[in-house]
A and B are shown apart, each in its own frame.
Chain A
Protein backbone atom coordinates (compact mmCIF):
# COMPACT_ATOMS: atom_id res chain seq x y z
CA UNK A 1 0.00 0.00 0.00
CA UNK A 2 1.43 3.40 -0.96
CA UNK A 3 1.42 6.06 1.72
CA UNK A 4 0.34 9.53 0.68
CA UNK A 5 2.68 12.29 1.83
CA UNK A 6 2.05 15.99 2.31
CA UNK A 7 4.61 18.78 2.54
CA UNK A 8 4.23 22.12 4.31
CA UNK A 9 3.51 24.11 1.16
CA UNK A 10 0.73 21.77 0.13
CA UNK A 11 -0.73 21.94 3.62
CA UNK A 12 -0.77 25.75 3.72
CA UNK A 13 -1.95 26.31 0.14
CA UNK A 14 -4.68 23.71 0.45
CA UNK A 15 -6.05 25.10 3.77
CA UNK A 16 -5.34 21.65 5.18
CA UNK A 17 -5.88 22.72 8.80
CA UNK A 18 -9.37 24.03 8.08
CA UNK A 19 -10.34 21.06 5.92
CA UNK A 20 -8.98 18.66 8.55
CA UNK A 21 -10.98 20.28 11.35
CA UNK A 22 -14.13 20.48 9.24
CA UNK A 23 -13.83 16.74 8.62
CA UNK A 24 -13.50 17.21 4.86
CA UNK A 25 -10.54 14.89 4.28
CA UNK A 26 -10.68 11.30 3.14
CA UNK A 27 -8.81 8.78 5.28
CA UNK A 28 -5.61 8.77 3.19
CA UNK A 29 -5.32 12.53 2.98
CA UNK A 30 -6.14 12.88 6.67
CA UNK A 31 -3.45 10.38 7.54
CA UNK A 32 -0.94 12.22 5.30
CA UNK A 33 -1.73 15.52 6.99
CA UNK A 34 -1.46 13.94 10.44
CA UNK A 35 1.95 12.48 9.58
CA UNK A 36 2.96 15.96 8.43
CA UNK A 37 1.73 18.00 11.38
CA UNK A 38 3.18 15.56 13.93
CA UNK A 39 6.53 16.58 12.47
CA UNK A 40 5.93 20.25 11.61
CA UNK A 41 5.93 22.86 14.37
CA UNK A 42 3.87 25.38 12.37
CA UNK A 43 1.14 22.99 11.32
CA UNK A 44 1.00 21.33 14.76
CA UNK A 45 0.47 24.72 16.33
CA UNK A 46 -2.10 25.65 13.69
CA UNK A 47 -4.07 22.47 14.35
CA UNK A 48 -3.99 22.77 18.14
CA UNK A 49 -4.81 26.48 18.02
CA UNK A 50 -7.69 25.92 15.61
CA UNK A 51 -8.90 22.90 17.58
CA UNK A 52 -8.99 24.91 20.77
CA UNK A 53 -10.64 27.82 18.98
CA UNK A 54 -13.40 25.50 17.75
CA UNK A 55 -13.77 24.05 21.25
CA UNK A 56 -13.93 27.53 22.73
CA UNK A 57 -16.45 28.60 20.11
CA UNK A 58 -19.02 26.10 21.34
CA UNK A 59 -19.78 27.65 24.73
CA UNK A 60 -19.57 31.17 23.29
CA UNK A 61 -21.88 30.24 20.42
CA UNK A 62 -24.28 28.73 22.95
CA UNK A 63 -24.29 32.05 24.81
CA UNK A 64 -24.91 33.92 21.58
CA UNK A 65 -27.48 31.55 20.08
CA UNK A 66 -30.50 32.59 22.18
CA UNK A 67 -29.91 36.20 21.10
CA UNK A 68 -29.68 35.11 17.45
CA UNK A 69 -32.85 33.03 17.79
CA UNK A 70 -34.84 35.80 19.46
CA UNK A 71 -33.56 38.22 16.79
CA UNK A 72 -35.05 35.94 14.17
CA UNK A 73 -38.34 35.63 16.08
CA UNK A 74 -38.52 39.41 16.47
CA UNK A 75 -37.83 39.75 12.74
CA UNK A 76 -40.79 37.46 11.96
CA UNK A 77 -43.11 39.43 14.29
CA UNK A 78 -41.92 42.67 12.71
CA UNK A 79 -42.69 41.34 9.21
CA UNK A 80 -46.24 40.29 10.24
CA UNK A 81 -46.84 43.66 11.87
CA UNK A 82 -45.54 45.56 8.85
CA UNK A 83 -47.63 43.59 6.36
CA UNK A 84 -50.76 44.44 8.40
CA UNK A 85 -49.69 48.04 8.52
CA UNK A 86 -49.12 48.21 4.77
CA UNK A 87 -52.64 46.93 4.19
CA UNK A 88 -53.99 49.82 6.28
CA UNK A 89 -51.90 52.41 4.45
CA UNK A 90 -53.43 51.49 1.09
CA UNK A 91 -55.91 54.33 1.64
CA UNK A 92 -53.79 57.53 1.19
CA UNK A 93 -55.46 59.75 3.80
CA UNK A 94 -53.84 58.43 6.97
CA UNK A 95 -50.49 57.80 5.27
CA UNK A 96 -48.72 60.98 6.36
CA UNK A 97 -49.88 60.75 9.96
CA UNK A 98 -48.84 57.12 10.04
CA UNK A 99 -45.35 57.86 8.70
CA UNK A 100 -44.89 60.56 11.33
CA UNK A 101 -46.16 58.20 14.03
CA UNK A 102 -43.80 55.45 12.89
CA UNK A 103 -40.84 57.84 12.91
CA UNK A 104 -41.55 59.07 16.44
CA UNK A 105 -42.31 55.54 17.64
CA UNK A 106 -39.08 54.23 16.10
CA UNK A 107 -37.04 56.99 17.69
CA UNK A 108 -38.43 56.39 21.18
CA UNK A 109 -38.01 52.58 20.82
CA UNK A 110 -34.41 53.11 19.75
CA UNK A 111 -33.70 55.34 22.74
CA UNK A 112 -35.45 52.95 25.14
CA UNK A 113 -33.46 50.00 23.78
CA UNK A 114 -30.21 51.96 24.07
CA UNK A 115 -30.91 52.93 27.68
CA UNK A 116 -32.03 49.39 28.54
CA UNK A 117 -28.83 47.91 27.05
CA UNK A 118 -26.65 50.42 28.89
CA UNK A 119 -28.44 49.70 32.18
CA UNK A 120 -28.01 45.97 31.63
CA UNK A 121 -24.29 46.40 30.96
CA UNK A 122 -23.87 48.50 34.10
CA UNK A 123 -25.80 46.00 36.20
CA UNK A 124 -23.63 43.15 34.92
CA UNK A 125 -20.45 45.10 35.58
CA UNK A 126 -21.51 46.00 39.11
CA UNK A 127 -22.85 42.57 40.13
CA UNK A 128 -20.74 41.06 42.93
CA UNK A 129 -19.34 37.56 42.38
CA UNK A 130 -20.82 35.13 44.87
CA UNK A 131 -18.81 32.39 46.59
CA UNK A 132 -20.51 29.46 48.33
CA UNK A 133 -18.69 28.01 51.31
CA UNK A 134 -19.26 24.44 52.50
CA UNK A 135 -17.62 22.74 55.45
CA UNK A 136 -17.14 19.07 54.62
CA UNK A 137 -15.60 16.54 56.97
CA UNK A 138 -15.18 12.80 56.56
CA UNK A 139 -16.92 10.42 54.18
CA UNK A 140 -20.59 10.45 53.31
CA UNK A 141 -22.97 8.32 51.31
CA UNK A 142 -24.12 9.69 47.97
CA UNK A 143 -26.71 12.41 48.35
CA UNK A 144 -26.02 12.97 52.04
CA UNK A 145 -23.74 15.92 51.47
CA UNK A 146 -25.17 17.36 48.31
CA UNK A 147 -24.03 20.81 47.23
CA UNK A 148 -26.44 22.58 44.88
CA UNK A 149 -25.40 25.78 43.13
CA UNK A 150 -25.15 27.51 39.78
CA UNK A 151 -22.42 26.57 37.29
CA UNK A 152 -21.05 30.12 37.27
CA UNK A 153 -20.67 30.24 41.06
CA UNK A 154 -17.46 29.71 42.98
CA UNK A 155 -17.33 26.81 45.35
CA UNK A 156 -15.32 26.94 48.54
CA UNK A 157 -14.79 23.64 50.37
CA UNK A 158 -13.57 23.79 53.94
CA UNK A 159 -11.75 20.61 54.99
CA UNK A 160 -10.37 19.89 58.47
CA UNK A 161 -6.93 18.31 58.81
CA UNK A 162 -3.81 18.44 60.96
CA UNK A 163 -0.49 19.51 59.37
CA UNK A 164 2.49 17.33 60.25
CA UNK A 165 5.99 18.51 60.99
CA UNK A 166 7.80 16.31 58.46
CA UNK A 167 5.54 17.45 55.61
CA UNK A 168 6.61 20.61 53.80
CA UNK A 169 4.30 20.95 50.79
CA UNK A 170 0.57 20.41 50.68
CA UNK A 171 -2.08 20.22 48.01
CA UNK A 172 -5.79 19.51 47.74
CA UNK A 173 -6.84 17.05 45.04
CA UNK A 174 -10.44 16.74 43.91
CA UNK A 175 -11.07 13.24 42.60
CA UNK A 176 -14.06 11.96 40.68
CA UNK A 177 -16.03 8.89 41.81
CA UNK A 178 -13.82 6.78 39.50
CA UNK A 179 -10.77 8.20 41.27
CA UNK A 180 -9.66 10.42 38.38
CA UNK A 181 -7.93 13.63 39.39
CA UNK A 182 -10.22 16.48 38.32
CA UNK A 183 -8.66 19.47 40.06
CA UNK A 184 -5.54 20.10 42.07
CA UNK A 185 -4.73 23.14 44.17
CA UNK A 186 -1.36 23.79 45.84
CA UNK A 187 -1.87 24.89 49.46
CA UNK A 188 0.02 27.23 51.72
CA UNK A 189 -0.26 25.73 55.21
CA UNK A 190 0.94 26.99 58.60
CA UNK A 191 1.69 24.56 61.42
CA UNK A 192 -1.13 26.07 63.50
CA UNK A 193 -3.78 25.56 60.79
CA UNK A 194 -6.49 22.99 61.44
CA UNK A 195 -8.51 23.42 58.26
CA UNK A 196 -8.20 24.72 54.74
CA UNK A 197 -10.63 26.29 52.26
CA UNK A 198 -10.27 24.99 48.73
CA UNK A 199 -11.83 27.42 46.28
CA UNK A 200 -12.73 26.28 42.75
CA UNK A 201 -14.97 27.60 39.97
CA UNK A 202 -17.94 25.20 40.14
CA UNK A 203 -18.17 25.09 36.35
CA UNK A 204 -14.90 23.15 36.01
CA UNK A 205 -16.59 20.11 37.58
CA UNK A 206 -19.43 18.04 36.20
CA UNK A 207 -22.35 17.07 38.44
CA UNK A 208 -21.47 13.94 40.43
CA UNK A 209 -19.72 12.55 43.47
CA UNK A 210 -16.28 13.76 44.41
CA UNK A 211 -13.75 13.43 47.16
CA UNK A 212 -11.37 16.12 48.35
CA UNK A 213 -8.05 14.73 49.53
CA UNK A 214 -5.56 16.86 51.43
CA UNK A 215 -2.08 15.56 50.65
CA UNK A 216 1.22 16.44 52.19
CA UNK A 217 4.70 15.70 50.88
CA UNK A 218 8.00 15.45 52.71
CA UNK A 219 11.26 16.88 51.26
CA UNK A 220 12.22 13.29 50.40
CA UNK A 221 9.16 12.95 48.17
CA UNK A 222 7.07 10.76 50.49
CA UNK A 223 3.42 11.55 50.16
CA UNK A 224 0.75 11.23 52.81
CA UNK A 225 -3.03 11.64 52.66
CA UNK A 226 -4.09 13.70 55.66
CA UNK A 227 -7.83 14.02 55.17
CA UNK A 228 -10.48 12.85 52.77
CA UNK A 229 -13.96 14.30 52.51
CA UNK A 230 -16.68 13.49 50.05
CA UNK A 231 -19.51 15.49 48.54
CA UNK A 232 -22.01 15.37 45.74
CA UNK A 233 -22.19 18.31 43.33
CA UNK A 234 -25.50 19.31 41.73
CA UNK A 235 -26.26 22.22 39.45
CA UNK A 236 -29.48 24.18 39.62
CA UNK A 237 -29.15 25.72 36.13
Chain B
Protein backbone atom coordinates (compact mmCIF):
# COMPACT_ATOMS: atom_id res chain seq x y z
CA UNK B 1 0.00 0.00 0.00
CA UNK B 2 1.31 3.41 -0.92
CA UNK B 3 1.10 5.86 1.92
CA UNK B 4 0.74 9.50 1.02
CA UNK B 5 1.66 11.78 3.89
CA UNK B 6 -0.65 14.74 4.32
CA UNK B 7 2.00 17.26 3.38
CA UNK B 8 2.59 15.59 0.01
CA UNK B 9 -1.15 15.29 -0.60
CA UNK B 10 -1.41 19.03 0.06
CA UNK B 11 1.09 19.78 -2.67
CA UNK B 12 -0.97 17.74 -5.12
CA UNK B 13 -4.08 19.66 -4.11
CA UNK B 14 -2.25 22.92 -4.66
CA UNK B 15 -1.28 21.78 -8.11
CA UNK B 16 -4.92 21.72 -9.09
CA UNK B 17 -6.09 18.23 -8.15
CA UNK B 18 -9.52 18.25 -6.63
CA UNK B 19 -10.02 16.67 -3.27
CA UNK B 20 -12.78 14.09 -2.99
CA UNK B 21 -14.24 12.38 0.02
CA UNK B 22 -13.84 8.85 -1.29
CA UNK B 23 -10.98 8.72 -3.74
CA UNK B 24 -8.47 10.61 -1.70
CA UNK B 25 -8.85 9.11 1.72
CA UNK B 26 -7.39 11.40 4.37
CA UNK B 27 -7.47 8.57 6.88
CA UNK B 28 -6.02 5.63 4.99
CA UNK B 29 -4.83 2.83 7.23
CA UNK B 30 -1.28 3.55 8.23
CA UNK B 31 1.13 0.87 9.36
CA UNK B 32 3.15 2.68 11.98
CA UNK B 33 6.75 1.58 12.32
CA UNK B 34 9.75 2.61 14.37
CA UNK B 35 10.96 4.91 11.58
CA UNK B 36 7.68 6.85 11.85
CA UNK B 37 8.20 7.34 15.59
CA UNK B 38 11.85 8.33 15.09
CA UNK B 39 10.84 10.96 12.53
CA UNK B 40 8.00 12.17 14.73
CA UNK B 41 10.44 12.44 17.62
CA UNK B 42 12.79 14.43 15.39
CA UNK B 43 9.96 16.89 14.57
CA UNK B 44 9.90 15.94 10.89
CA UNK B 45 7.34 18.40 9.43
CA UNK B 46 5.70 15.89 7.05
CA UNK B 47 5.30 13.23 9.71
CA UNK B 48 3.98 15.76 12.22
CA UNK B 49 1.41 16.93 9.68
CA UNK B 50 0.44 13.32 8.96
CA UNK B 51 0.17 12.55 12.68
CA UNK B 52 -2.05 15.59 13.31
CA UNK B 53 -4.25 14.97 10.26
CA UNK B 54 -4.64 11.22 10.80
CA UNK B 55 -5.47 11.28 14.48
CA UNK B 56 -7.41 14.55 14.50
CA UNK B 57 -10.08 13.04 12.28
CA UNK B 58 -10.18 9.77 14.20
CA UNK B 59 -10.30 11.51 17.58
CA UNK B 60 -13.01 13.89 16.41
CA UNK B 61 -15.22 10.95 15.39
CA UNK B 62 -14.39 9.04 18.57
CA UNK B 63 -15.13 11.97 20.88
CA UNK B 64 -18.47 12.56 19.15
CA UNK B 65 -19.30 8.88 19.71
CA UNK B 66 -18.55 9.48 23.39
CA UNK B 67 -21.04 12.35 23.37
CA UNK B 68 -18.48 15.16 23.51
CA UNK B 69 -18.80 18.13 21.18
CA UNK B 70 -17.99 21.83 20.76
CA UNK B 71 -15.01 23.42 22.43
CA UNK B 72 -14.58 20.49 24.86
CA UNK B 73 -14.03 18.24 21.86
CA UNK B 74 -11.42 20.61 20.41
CA UNK B 75 -9.65 20.93 23.76
CA UNK B 76 -9.58 17.18 24.46
CA UNK B 77 -8.39 16.38 20.94
CA UNK B 78 -5.60 18.96 21.06
CA UNK B 79 -4.57 17.91 24.56
CA UNK B 80 -4.46 14.25 23.46
CA UNK B 81 -2.31 15.04 20.42
CA UNK B 82 -0.04 17.20 22.51
CA UNK B 83 0.46 14.56 25.23
CA UNK B 84 1.17 11.84 22.67
CA UNK B 85 3.65 14.07 20.88
CA UNK B 86 5.33 14.94 24.17
CA UNK B 87 5.68 11.24 25.08
CA UNK B 88 7.03 10.41 21.62
CA UNK B 89 9.58 13.21 21.87
CA UNK B 90 10.61 11.95 25.29
CA UNK B 91 11.17 8.50 23.76
CA UNK B 92 8.50 6.88 25.95
CA UNK B 93 6.52 5.24 23.13
CA UNK B 94 8.10 1.87 22.41
CA UNK B 95 5.57 -0.15 20.37
CA UNK B 96 4.91 1.45 16.99
CA UNK B 97 2.54 -1.38 15.99
CA UNK B 98 0.30 -0.38 18.92
CA UNK B 99 0.53 3.34 18.26
CA UNK B 100 -3.17 3.76 17.33
CA UNK B 101 -4.46 2.05 20.50
CA UNK B 102 -1.87 4.05 22.48
CA UNK B 103 -3.31 7.34 21.17
CA UNK B 104 -6.82 6.15 22.09
CA UNK B 105 -5.61 5.19 25.58
CA UNK B 106 -4.19 8.69 26.08
CA UNK B 107 -7.51 10.07 24.82
CA UNK B 108 -9.30 7.96 27.46
CA UNK B 109 -7.11 9.50 30.18
CA UNK B 110 -7.80 13.01 28.97
CA UNK B 111 -11.56 12.31 28.81
CA UNK B 112 -11.47 10.86 32.35
CA UNK B 113 -9.73 13.97 33.67
CA UNK B 114 -12.26 16.14 31.91
CA UNK B 115 -15.14 14.11 33.36
CA UNK B 116 -13.69 14.29 36.88
CA UNK B 117 -13.88 18.08 36.54
CA UNK B 118 -10.13 18.37 36.95
CA UNK B 119 -10.20 20.26 33.71
CA UNK B 120 -8.37 22.40 32.88
CA UNK B 121 -5.35 20.31 33.78
CA UNK B 122 -3.49 21.92 30.95
CA UNK B 123 0.17 21.14 30.77
CA UNK B 124 0.78 22.76 27.44
CA UNK B 125 3.77 24.68 26.32
CA UNK B 126 4.91 26.90 23.49
CA UNK B 127 5.26 23.77 21.36
CA UNK B 128 1.50 23.53 20.86
CA UNK B 129 1.20 25.53 17.62
CA UNK B 130 3.43 23.13 15.71
CA UNK B 131 0.67 20.52 15.96
CA UNK B 132 -1.02 21.59 12.77
CA UNK B 133 -4.75 22.15 12.94
CA UNK B 134 -6.11 20.09 9.98
CA UNK B 135 -8.96 22.55 9.52
CA UNK B 136 -6.29 25.02 8.37
CA UNK B 137 -5.28 22.87 5.40
CA UNK B 138 -5.94 24.74 2.13
CA UNK B 139 -8.00 21.91 0.60
CA UNK B 140 -10.26 21.58 3.65
CA UNK B 141 -13.01 23.95 2.37
CA UNK B 142 -13.12 22.01 -0.93
CA UNK B 143 -13.37 18.70 0.92
CA UNK B 144 -16.13 20.01 3.21
CA UNK B 145 -18.05 21.35 0.22
CA UNK B 146 -17.80 17.93 -1.46
CA UNK B 147 -19.18 16.24 1.67
CA UNK B 148 -21.98 18.81 1.87
CA UNK B 149 -23.00 18.17 -1.75
CA UNK B 150 -22.97 14.40 -1.27
CA UNK B 151 -25.05 14.58 1.91
CA UNK B 152 -27.50 16.91 0.16
CA UNK B 153 -27.76 14.44 -2.72
CA UNK B 154 -28.49 11.58 -0.34
CA UNK B 155 -31.00 13.45 1.83
CA UNK B 156 -32.83 14.64 -1.28
CA UNK B 157 -33.36 11.05 -2.36
CA UNK B 158 -34.54 9.35 0.80
CA UNK B 159 -38.28 9.28 1.59
CA UNK B 160 -39.54 12.29 3.55
CA UNK B 161 -40.08 10.37 6.77
CA UNK B 162 -36.57 8.88 6.64
CA UNK B 163 -35.13 12.31 5.99
CA UNK B 164 -36.92 13.70 9.04
CA UNK B 165 -35.56 10.86 11.17
CA UNK B 166 -32.01 11.42 9.92
CA UNK B 167 -32.36 15.15 10.57
CA UNK B 168 -33.62 14.44 14.09
CA UNK B 169 -30.58 12.23 14.71
CA UNK B 170 -28.00 14.55 13.19
CA UNK B 171 -29.27 17.96 14.28
CA UNK B 172 -31.01 17.49 17.60
CA UNK B 173 -28.71 14.68 18.76
CA UNK B 174 -31.64 13.64 20.93
CA UNK B 175 -31.98 10.37 22.75
CA UNK B 176 -32.35 7.74 20.01
CA UNK B 177 -35.05 5.91 21.97
CA UNK B 178 -37.13 9.08 22.03
CA UNK B 179 -36.73 9.53 18.27
CA UNK B 180 -37.73 5.92 17.64
CA UNK B 181 -40.87 6.40 19.75
CA UNK B 182 -41.79 9.65 18.06
CA UNK B 183 -41.48 8.22 14.56
CA UNK B 184 -42.72 4.78 15.57
CA UNK B 185 -39.62 2.97 14.28
CA UNK B 186 -37.30 0.44 15.91
CA UNK B 187 -33.62 0.94 16.77
CA UNK B 188 -32.82 -1.61 14.09
CA UNK B 189 -34.62 0.53 11.53
CA UNK B 190 -32.57 3.56 12.60
CA UNK B 191 -29.37 1.58 12.07
CA UNK B 192 -30.56 0.33 8.69
CA UNK B 193 -31.54 3.87 7.74
CA UNK B 194 -28.03 5.15 8.46
CA UNK B 195 -26.56 2.12 6.68
CA UNK B 196 -28.71 2.85 3.62
CA UNK B 197 -27.79 6.54 3.64
CA UNK B 198 -24.09 5.65 3.73
CA UNK B 199 -24.56 3.09 0.98
CA UNK B 200 -26.26 5.71 -1.19
CA UNK B 201 -23.45 8.16 -0.49
CA UNK B 202 -20.98 5.51 -1.58
CA UNK B 203 -22.90 4.89 -4.78
CA UNK B 204 -22.90 8.60 -5.48
CA UNK B 205 -19.15 8.62 -5.05
CA UNK B 206 -18.71 5.84 -7.55
CA UNK B 207 -18.19 2.69 -5.51
CA UNK B 208 -19.71 -0.24 -7.35
CA UNK B 209 -22.29 -2.59 -5.81
CA UNK B 210 -19.76 -5.45 -5.88
CA UNK B 211 -17.60 -3.68 -3.36
CA UNK B 212 -20.63 -2.74 -1.31
CA UNK B 213 -21.86 -6.32 -1.17
CA UNK B 214 -18.45 -7.50 -0.02
CA UNK B 215 -18.79 -5.23 2.95
CA UNK B 216 -16.29 -2.73 1.64
CA UNK B 217 -18.24 0.32 2.54
Spell out A's residues near B (CB within 8 Å).
Answer: 8, 12, 15, 17-24, 30, 34-35, 38-42, 44-65, 68, 173-175, 179-186, 201, 204
Residues in B with CB closer than 8 Å to A184 are: 136-138
Indicate if the CB atoms of B104 and A181 lie closer than 8 Å: no
Excluding A18-B194, A57-B166, 8 further A-B contacts by CB distance (< 8 Å) are A23-B65, A39-B29, A42-B217, A44-B28, A50-B198, A179-B128, A181-B136, A183-B136
Establish whether residues A58 and B170, one from each chain, have CB atoms under 8 Å apart when the complex forms.
yes
Q: Report how far A41 CA is from B1 CA in the complex, Å.
A: 10
Q: List residues of chain A with CB within 8 A of the CB of B12.
A: none
- The one of A18, A30, A34, A68 in contact with B195, judged by C-beta atoms closer than 8 angstroms, is A18
The answer on a CB contact under 8 Å between A59 and B148 is yes
Sample 23 A-B pairs with CB under 8 A, ordered by A number: A40-B29, A44-B29, A45-B25, A45-B27, A45-B28, A47-B58, A49-B21, A49-B202, A51-B57, A51-B60, A53-B151, A56-B147, A58-B170, A61-B167, A61-B170, A61-B171, A64-B155, A68-B164, A180-B133, A182-B136, A185-B138, A186-B138, A201-B141
Per the bound structure, the CA–CA distance linking A55 and B59 in Å amounts to 13
Closest to B215 in A: A12
- Taking the closest CB of chain A, its distance from the CB of B42, in whole angstroms, is 14
Complex Cα distance, B139 from A185, in Å, reads 10
| Across-interface contacts of B217 in A (CB, < 8 A) | 17, 42, 45-46, 49-50
- B interface, by DSSP: helix, strand, loop or mixed? helix
Instruction: Indicate whether B43 reaches chain A with its CB closer than 8 angstroms.
Output: no
Q: Are A22 and B194 in contact (CB under 8 A)?
A: yes
CB of A72, distance to nearest CB on chain B (Å) = 9
Nearest CB on B from A146, distance (A)? 22
Contacts of B17 in A (CB 8 A): none
Residues of chain A within 8 A (CB-CB) of B89 are none
How far is B161's CA from A65's CA once the two chains are assembled, in angstroms?
13
Which A residues are CB-close (under 8 A) to B61? Answer: 21, 47-48, 51
Whether the pair A64, B163 counts as a contact (CB closer than 8 A) is yes
User: What residues on A are CB-neighbors of B148 within 8 Å?
Assistant: 56, 59-60
A55 to B146, CA, bound (A): 12
Known A45-B217, A61-B155; judge A52-B147 contact (CB<8 A).
yes
Query: Which residue in chain B gives the minimum CB-CB distance to A50?
Result: B198
Instruction: Closest A residue to B196 by CB, please name it.
Output: A18
